Structure 1
Amino acid sequence: MVTRTACQALQRRFATAATCVPAAEVRCQRSAVFSREQARQRALYPRVEKIEVSVQGPGLDGTMLVMNKGMSTPLSCARHLTEHHVTNSALALVDGEPWSLHQPLTQSCSLTLLTFKDSDPTLVNQAYWRSCAALLGQVLETAFKDNFTVELLSTPEVAVTSGAFCCDVVLDPQLDAWTPSEESFRSLTREAQYLIHQDLVWEPLEVVPAVALEVFSQSRCKLEEVEQKAAQNPKGTVTLHRCDDHVLLSAGPLVARTGLCSQYEVTALHNLEQGPRGLHRRAQGLSLPLQLQSHHTVWRKLRQRAEKLVEVPRLEEVAPPSPPDSTPPASSQ
């Protein structure tokens, strides 16, 4: 585990080395570091060792699969079941913990494959909303010409009931006065739908902070976010995801692939406050998964709601939990 002091030292070193590099080159560098670390982790299992995976779910209880340690994933298990499980599964539970379909299994475990039509789809919905925000960040990062910089800030974790997923961003100062038109939103939406049509995988990778700092060496904001997320994780690690050549930090697992998105629309770009890196903006969008689609009249109402600014409390505005009161409650007379 990298200590907080070591993490800060690495952060300062990478921040000092950060220079203005073309966006395409930055994406290539991030993806290359991701691939290198992914290969290193896979090499930790040079010999094939078997693990037992107990599959839970309707009609599956009692199903036992013998899989390969450090190599097999929940998706590998789904392929031993039916085509329905392969195409409809969006997320997994491994020993009760939310787990990406593409995250290798490292020990014998219980496995439940989750879909959007489960009786309790809460975890899948949360992962889907997080994935839609990740897709929006990927679109924003590549939507502008190379002479306009785009800095993705930390992605707010918002509930599905908020009405829209969000991605905070700082655009080039030359764009501070820019107000996107409806055609601008349609263009961003088309870019997102292109990625959806490609049915790209969100590859997960759990890494130590030193690796994440190298991945995001060109982003001062992400360097700070790496340290924050590592400090919040009891294991001291952070989780990355890669979609094509776009690498992002994630607060939790994402759904398996972009093709699980169906109706998807970029709806708003709100100005927030002026920060040390420039004008903070909040991009927002709305989406429904492939398995759950709506009538156009319902979609129109949902879209109108998704245009309104989603308020996200600042960290310092969230009151810490009150200490337990040692005074016993007064008994009723």
Structure 2
Amino acid sequence: MMNNINVILARSMVASFPRVATCSKRLTSSLSSEAVRQNHLFDIEQKKQKESVGRIEKIQIEYEGPTDKATLTMNKHISTPFDCAKHLGERIADQSAVALLNNDTLWHMHKPLPDSCKLQFLHYKIPQPTAVNKIFWRSCSFILGAVANAAFKDTVKVQLHSFPSPNVRSGSFVYDVQLDLADWKPTEKELKVLSIEMIKFCQQSHAIEHMNVSTELALDLFRNNTHKYQQIPDIAAHNNGKITLFRAGHHIDISRGPMVTNTNHLGRVTIANVIKLNTDVPGGPIYRFQGVALPKSIMLNHFAFGLLEERARNLNPARIPGSQESFEEDNSFVAQVTA
């Protein structure tokens, strides 16, 4: 049965679902040669950028917490909000999802600070969490891409296409993926396996790294992904000629961000559905992977989360990829705090 042999199986579930135990590719398996190549390029560029900083300049960071304030002396273009948070205490570092600079600009926690500024940390239980929710949803899509990319046996060609703007009201986070499977309809068991693998990936506590790179490097990095290679020039045109990359573990993807600090921010996760889309993108069918998740700091009873899971099974109404579209990455950059 083809539907039962396409998706990976967690080791602990082999006895329960023997019909899918023949799958060979796992998130825990050795890296593909493409992942090794991409990460090698990322590491070289990351080291190059750190070495290019030159003479270290000091900056003053004025931290403003809910009940306290502090002034930190940090290193320009080197220190990150996460570095600042660690100076202030482990609890602040662990719970902060994103930084807020000068009361108006959201900033990825692992992105170096360019100058002196006022700094706040936003978490999931702030009174107005709209911006944080969007960042969490975007991060879920990013991580879903990592899982989908590694979830199929080697005989199934997988190419990540893109993920649409995060919209919590839509009921699901999304990643659109091209698979050379003519008409795959995942079973409940396969969806459960995907959910477990995403949870396992998150529990590995990967810091979500950030780096801006040149168009040329991005084209080299994604030269074996037809869709992202074609998208890069349009993305760069809307981002001052730069491509913003994020990495979690060995998974690298494009997004202007920001993302949450670490994969361990995700708690409860369900991959609720995978739906074949009606699209004219060449190269094979595009499938929309859909999921729902909660931050680990947010608790919800089983019945209430079940309602969220049921809603997430419906086709997400986000824009469907098309061969003639103008592409602006995930079209979801939250540069300013909005209501």
TM-score bracket, shorter-length normalisation:
0.7 to 0.9
Determine the structure 2 residue equivalent to 1:74: 81
Which runs of structure 2 are paired with 1:99-248 in the superposition (5 Å)?
99-172=107-180, 175-233=181-239, 235-248=240-253
Deviations, residues 41-61 of structure 1 (Å, cap 9, x unaligned): 101123322111111231234
CA displacement at 1:162 relative to structure 2: 0.7
What is the Cα deviation at residue 317 of structure 1? 9.6
Give the distance between the partners of 1:141 and 1:268, measured in 2 at CA. 16
Distance, in Å, in 1 between the alignment partners of 2:36 and 2:214 is 20
2:286 corresponds to 1:280: yes
Residue 246 of structure 1 aligns with an amino acid whose one-letter code is H
Contact 1:264–1:285 (CA under 8 A) maintained in structure 2? yes
Q: CA deviation at 1:180?
A: 0.7
Partner of 2:310: 304
Residue 71 of structure 1 deviates from its aligned partner by: 1.6
Mapped to 1, the partners of 2:130 and 2:65 lie a distance apart of 16
1:52 counterpart = 2:57? no
Q: Which moved more, 1:268-277 or 1:135-144?
A: 268-277
Any idea what the Cα deviations from partners look like across 1:233-286, whole Å, max 9, x if unmatched? 2x2212100111110001321100110000001010011124212111100000
CA distance in structure 2 between the partners assigned to 1:135 and 1:314 by the alignment: 20
* TM-score, structure 1 as length reference: 0.84
Aligned residue for 2:193, secondary structure, equals helix
TM-score for both structures, normalised by structure 2: 0.83
Change (3 A) 1:158 1:79: closer
Unaligned runs of 5+ in 2: 1-29, 327-339
CA separation in 2, counterparts of 1:151 and 1:81?
Answer: 42
Q: What amino acid maps onto 1:241 in structure 2?
A: F
1:152 is displaced (CA, Å) by: 0.4
Whole-Å Cα distance in 1 between the matches of residues 296 and 128 of structure 2? 17
CA contact under 8 A between 2:185 and 2:275: conserved in structure 1?
A: no
Matches within 5 A, 1:25-64: 25-61=33-69, 63-64=70-71
1:92 aligns with 2:99: yes
The residue identity in structure 2 corresponding to 1:147 is T
Cα distance change, pair 278–144 in 1 and its aligned pair in 2 (3 A): same
1:284-295 matched pairs, under 5 angstroms: 284-295=290-301
Aligned length in residues: 293
Q: Which amino acid aligns with 2:249?
A: D
CA deviation string 1:307-329 (max 9, x = no partner) = 000012358899xxxxxxxxxxx
CA deviation map 1:23-47 (0-9, x unaligned): 7111111111111111111011233
State the alpha-carbon separation in 2 of the partners of residues 60 and 230 from structure 1.
40
Tell me how far apart the structure 1 counterparts of residues 320 and 196 of structure 2 sit (CA, whole Å).
32
CA distance in 2, matches of 1:166, 1:300: 18
On the 8 A contact 1:74/1:105 being kept in 2, the answer is yes
- Structure 2: distance between partners of 1:28 and 1:317: 31
Query: Which consecutive segments of 4 or more residues in structure 1 shift more than 4 A?
Result: 314-318
Q: Is the 8 A contact 1:23 1:146 kept in 2?
A: no
Considering only CA atoms, is the larger Rg found in Structure 1 or Structure 2? 1
Amino acid at match of 1:154: S
Report the residue type matching 1:282 in the other structure: R
SS where residue 273 of structure 1 aligns?
Answer: coil
Q: Distance in 2 between matches of 1:288 and 1:36?
A: 35
In the alignment, structure 1 residue 24 sits paired with structure 2 residue 32: yes
